[in-house]
Amino acid sequence: MAKIAVLGAGSITFGTTLLNDMLGTESLKGSTYALMGPTLSKLQRVENFTKKLIEKNNLSANVYSTTDRREALKDADYVIAILQIGGMDSYKTDYKIPMKYGVDQCIGQCVGVGGVFRGIRTIPVMVDILHDMEELCPNALLLNYVNPMASICIAMGRSSAISFVGLCHGIQTTLDLIASYNGVKKEEIDFLAAGINHMAWYLKLEKDGKDLYPLFKENIEKPEYYINDKVRCEVTRHFGYFMTESSGHLSEYLPWFRKNKKALDTYCDQPLFGGESGIGYKFHSGVAKKFEKTDYLSYESTDLKPRSAEYCSHIIEAKETGKVFKLNGNVINKQYITNLPDGCCVEVPIFVDKMGLHPVSVGDLPTPLAAMNQSNVTVQMLVAEASLAGDPELVVAAIAMDPLTSAVLTLKEIRDLTIEMFEAQEKFLPHFKGKKPKKIYDISIPDGTEGVPVPLDPALAVANRLVSLADK
């Protein structure tokens, strides 16, 4: 019987989904669930709902709440992280301050200015969790749902030998779309997907050995299909492969879709996650406000639901029983994708059994896909390094290399934006010890200023000599 620690368990929607999945897994019968978070009242709402679920469905399980992380982790077999650092106040500045400078984000959680600052807020907490696990449950498996996934995983990989996997549901949900566009059942599709989190590519799509891509590509040329997913369809049209996240999210990972009004009006004009400005913050803040006033779990059905598309319960089941489970998960690259750097975070096929996680090597990605991934890997690795070192200048570098931000702002504007973000979120950045990027001022050049004499470049000297000869 396993002990499962859920960190950030006050998450009413996500936490209850995972708990329902695990309670509905026969091999986890009799398990203990330690619900941990900073606010006891939120934890107890989830605990009370879970106890009703256990009682009504005659399940064998124990559940309790604690604000003591070490107590939750002690002797745990599995640790599930679904926490958020900074809350809605930080998320608001993640969106509002960049928007003031002209950087229009849709989600702002994993990339861009918002993703960078969510990363540097969160990485120290995740590293502390790993160090507690080294002491209290060194053999436990960490299942991480916390964003920005890639930056956090890179930092964790540099900080500890604790076994972990980063989990997302982009693969599963996108397969529903692909199946509907091809008129087949999701379960009938054989696929190979790999890349980075929120930017993995479907390298193969087949049914009974037949390639599904020709029909898929034919359909996305039709307006009624294209309008549903403009950014993803446009990338597929130009580079040949579909990827695993919404159009709104992908529009933040690349420089072409949100850099000016024309691009936004053309590709990001659909509501919600089709590209709407700030929908990540607007959606989550709206949910948070509703849950402040009403305990929606008091109206929620306590019938045990079928297991969701989330990988979590299936991974634990595979570890407990040896029943092999295949997923796409996020791990530290060790030649799993050979044209992305070792030490970055990649999302690749993984098999799980009693012996643990077994990532699959997929070799090289098609070069354009690797290039698009690499543009974000560079930022992710800078975020991890900046947070671990407490170096604000590396934060400037990370934001300067972000594809969307660099398409919109100058270096001076990026630095000023970063300084303002540091000032707004200082209380969530104690590991920077009050440091922020240095201010750099514009250099004023008076009219008539001439440059000081400098040696000519040899090639330029030859060119000048040829010009002077030609004038004679």
At residue 143, what are phi and psi to the nearest 5 degrees?
-110, 110
DSSP 363: B
Please pick, among 169, 225, 226, 296, the residue that the annotation labels catalytic.
Answer: 169
Reported as type and span, the H/E element at residue 64 is strand 62-66
**DSSP string covering 343-361:** TSEEEEEEEEETTEEEE--
Distance, CA of 245 to chain centre = 10
At residue 62, what are phi and psi to the nearest 5 degrees?
-120, 145
CA angle centred on 294, ends 36 and 11, rounded to 5°: 25
Give me the count of residues in the chain: 472
Per the annotation, the verdict on 131 as an active-site residue is: no
In the numeric block, the tokens 């993703």 are attached to 115
Cβ neighbors of 78 (< 8 A, separation 6 or more) are: 2, 3, 4, 5, 140, 141, 142, 143, 316, 319
Q: Where are the alpha helices (DSSP H) in 101-242?
A: 112-136, 149-159, 170-182, 213-219, 223-226, 230-239
Cβ neighbors of 253 (< 8 A, separation 6 or more) are: 111, 198, 199, 245, 372, 375, 376, 403, 404
Please pick, among 95, 253, 281, 311, the residue that the annotation labels catalytic.
Answer: 253
Per the annotation, the verdict on 238 as an active-site residue is: no
Q: Known catalytic residues?
A: 169, 253
